[in-house]
């Protein structure tokens, strides 16, 4: 059997007997041809390809951890994802200095992921510690297809460890949404999942996809 690109697979299986399900038209009745022509077909859903990265658990230097994540992302490039979502604080800041390893908006930490996004024409949700006005946040930086940092979500529901041991400041209660070329998205991080208010707020603001980078262990 030939190897099939996943995009082509979806395209091919949306023809013929599978078209109703693949194109979201399962409620359309296939009957009299003349009658069908008078019916308005529902709009075809947009196709968005998402690559969710796992924590590599890579040991070593800060740079080696960045390189390990970039390699994992490279492995998904053949599928041409529209957006990559990386794990919460995958650079393990608990063992590092926030002063030297927090993104300040200059790209000194996020730079390699900005270059990746531009090279591969994709968005990247890059969870990092960020700093502004001397305050540090557990954040998720959104990078666009041109490699620009276009916004960040700052984790609101932080843990006691993040406050007491790491000096993290909670983000604002009201979460932002971000406009992309495939729709409106929002972000929540790890412990945020325990509180429904922000998820409802994102829905009311028009978020069509909510990404949830987390340090929780994945299910088996």
CA–CA dist 171, 102 (Å, integer): 15
Q: In this structure, is residue 70 part of a structural domain?
A: yes
> For residue 87, what pLDDT is reported?
92
Token readout for 160 is: 């006691």
**Residues 136, 102 contacting (CB under 8 angstroms):** yes
Indicate if the alpha-carbon torsion angle 170, 174, 180, 182 is positive or negative. positive
> For residue 93, what pLDDT is reported?
56
Number of domains in the chain: 1
Q: In this structure, is residue 16 part of a structural domain?
A: no
Q: In this structure, is residue 197 part of a structural domain?
A: yes
Domain harbouring 165, CATH code: 3.60.110.10
pLDDT in tens, 114-158: 999 999 999 999 999 999 999 999 999 999 999 999 999 999 999
Q: In this structure, is residue 25 part of a structural domain?
A: no
Query: What's the pLDDT band for 31 if we cut at 50, 70, 90?
Result: very low
Question: Rounded to an integer, what is the distance from CA 12 to the centroid of its chain?
Answer: 27
Token readout for 60 is: 């070593």
> For residue 15, what pLDDT is reported?
30
Highest mean pLDDT pick, 32-46, 54-68, 190-204:
190-204
CA–CA dist 120, 141 (Å, integer): 17
| Collapsed DSSP state (helix, strand, coil) of residue 104 | coil
**Residues 122, 82 contacting (CB under 8 angstroms):** yes
């Amino acid at each position: 059997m030939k190897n099939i690109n996943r995009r082509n697979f979806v395209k091919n299986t949306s023809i013929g007997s599978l078209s109703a399900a693949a194109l979201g038209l399962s409620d359309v009745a296939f009957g009299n041809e003349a009658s069908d022509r008078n019916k308005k077909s529902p709009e075809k859903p947009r196709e968005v390809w998402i690559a969710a990265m796992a924590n590599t658990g890579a040991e070593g230097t800060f740079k080696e951890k960045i390189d390990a994540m970039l390699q994992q992302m490279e492995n998904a490039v053949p599928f041409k994802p529209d957006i990559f979502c990386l794990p919460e604080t995958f650079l393990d800041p608990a063992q590092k200095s926030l002063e030297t390893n927090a993104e300040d908006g200059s790209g000194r930490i996020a730079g390699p992921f900005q270059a990746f996004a531009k090279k591969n024409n994709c968005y990247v949700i890059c969870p990092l510690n960020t700093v502004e006005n001397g305050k540090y946040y557990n954040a998720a930086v959104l990078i666009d297809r041109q490699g620009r940092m276009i916004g960040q979500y700052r984790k609101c529901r932080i843990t006691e460890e993040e406050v007491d041991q790491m000096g993290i400041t909670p983000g604002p209660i009201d979460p932002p949404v971000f406009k992309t070329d495939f729709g409106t998205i929002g972000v929540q991080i790890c412990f945020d999942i325990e509180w429904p208010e922000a998820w409802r707020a994102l829905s009311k603001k028009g978020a069509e996809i909510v990404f949830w980078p987390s340090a929780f262990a994945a299910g088996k």
